[in-house]
Chains A and B, each alone.
Chain A
Amino acid sequence: MLTQLIVSGLATGCLYALVALGLVIVYKASNVLNFAQGDMAMVSTFVTFTLLETLHIPFFWAVLLAIVGAFLLGALFEICLLRPVKHPTPLGLIIITVGAQQILYGVAGWIWGYDTKAFPSLLSDLKIYRFGALVISEVNLWILIASVLLMLALLLFFRYTRLGIAIRAMSQNLITAKLMGVSAHWTLSLTWGIASVLGAVAGILIAPITFLDPNMMLNPLLKAFAAATLGGMNSFAGAVVGGGSLGILENLVGGYLTPELKESVAFLIIILVLCVRPSGLLGRHYKHRV
């Protein structure tokens, strides 16, 4: 029972973690809380839906196209909405992302309607795999596999590639990064593109469970914010740990106490953790030594 709850909680947690990673990457690079992260993902999920249902493109290609589209959406977001702002204030930037979220939400409702649609998926919630005593649904299994692979790819990118290291350098000190020859504009657009792809993958993975409507990412986005804050808003590992633990926590409370309280208790614990560690579980701050 315990392992069971942990594993299925982890699957949900992985989705939170993907969205949270998108938030953290953007936050570190642009110093913006991106309130549009959820609805960028929602739009990408709807695009996938259209590619599958209306254009009858095979699943694999539809997802691939949608991911490319998500990347462009994220990059364009940065180019069109953030780059023109010359001397932004933190509040101004938040309003820009909130505004963009409203625009995306409205446009999605206008194109696809507000009624709930079923997402055509190859994966089933009912089909079940057994690993010894452990039972896991096909959807959850694929969520785990896809998220872990994506996170691994991200880890390798940020650890070992020149561009990945440049993004981290730029997030820490923009001026010095420019002095190394990093083109801040394009690197920033790339960062937004990656964040958008992370959200899109989460959206496509969630859609078979939650169905499809313009509100679908509202709850996951809120959870991702909580997860990122819990883990430490400036830490990639923190987003993963935060997402995973939030998913597991919810599931344990839901399983052992009552499903009604699962979110309340989870958030109560987050609040307690933040009281003790304001910068999150893995949030790090170096003091400048001279």
Chain B
Amino acid sequence: MLKVHNIETFYGPIRAISGLSLEVPEGKIVALLGSNGAGKTTILKTICGLLEGQPSKGTIEFMGTPLNGLAPEGIVRLGIAYVEEGRPVFEELTVDENLLMGGYVRRDVHGLQRDRDRVMSYFPVLGQRRGQLAGTLSGGERQMLVIGRALMARPKLMLLDEPSLGLAPMAVKEIFQILKTINEEGTTILLVEQNAKMALEIAHEGHVIEAGRVVLSDQAKSLLENENVRCYYLGITGEVSASGLKRHRKKRWR
């Protein structure tokens, strides 16, 4: 569905993504893992056309349409929704108005009504806060709102950037459960996470990103069992010494 081929993205002279390729098959949840500064957000921004003039090399294709050079407004109209990191709601709009903005590209009033009800059924707390300004919501509620807002566009592909960051474990659990449901109902998901365990539990495939490259790709199940991933991203230490792992990692991943 989404094919990213050998892209390079620069911030001025600094290269943040170098020769990265990635595929998101239709109907799947694909997780992008990686530590802070690995380039995960940059990848999503490049896909959405938010970085002007980028990628400077390589191609991005969505369902056969090349995205290179398109403006973000055009890209989202193709059926890509991007849930940014930091859950930026429109603070001075109500919850309802935020959802309405999510469906901005659509004209079918009845469909919108139905989808709003669907979002409210996923996140009942949003239903209770419909008339409330989004700026007054809690972190978890904001995350639900930005996901709900993205759903209003009825996207074919949803990009999510660290939806769990800074949330209470209960809220994270609820949100990931809904993501799984959303996927089962037909939306493909590209999920960026530092919370590798949660992400891999719902994902089908995973890629580990380091310094702007994919260093490891596998089925989510295998990644969960992978020793290096367990050590570096799941915080589970095996019996191998840390220095041994480091050498091991360098050899295999770079």
Footprint of B on A, CB under 8 Å?
162, 165-166, 168-169, 172-173, 175-184, 284, 286, 288-290
What is the bound-complex CA distance between A212 and B104, given in angstroms?
A: 44
A-B contact list, 29 entries, CB within 8 Å: A165-B93, A165-B101, A166-B101, A166-B104, A168-B92, A168-B93, A169-B93, A169-B97, A169-B101, A173-B88, A175-B72, A176-B90, A177-B101, A178-B50, A178-B73, A179-B50, A179-B76, A179-B84, A180-B104, A180-B105, A181-B77, A181-B104, A182-B73, A182-B104, A183-B73, A286-B91, A286-B92, A286-B136, A289-B137
Q: A168-B93, A176-B88 are in contact. Are A290 and B76 (CB under 8 A)?
A: no
Dominant secondary structure at the A interface: helix
* B13 part of interface (Cβ distance < 8 Å): no
Interface size class of B (residues with CB under 8 A): 20 to 34
B102 at the interface (CB under 8 A from A): yes
Q: Are A184 and B90 in contact (CB under 8 A)?
A: no
Chain A residue nearest to B83 (CB atoms) is A179
Q: Which residues of B contact A (CB under 8 A)?
A: 48, 50, 71-73, 76-77, 81-82, 84, 86, 88, 90-93, 97, 100-102, 104-105, 133, 135-139, 142, 149, 153, 166
CA distance A183 to B139 in the complex (A): 28
- By a CB distance below 8 angstroms, the chain A residues around B84 are 175-176, 179
Most chain B beta-carbon neighbours within 10 Å: one of A168, A173, A175, A178: A178
Instruction: State the CA gap A181–B74 with chains docked (Å).
Output: 7
| B103 to A: closest C-beta gap in Å | 8
Question: In the bound complex, do residue B88 and residue A289 qualify as a contact, i.e. CB atoms below 8 Å apart?
Answer: no
The chain B residue sitting closest to A179, CB to CB, is: B82
A181 to B48, CA, bound (A): 11
Q: Are B139 and A284 in contact (CB under 8 A)?
A: no
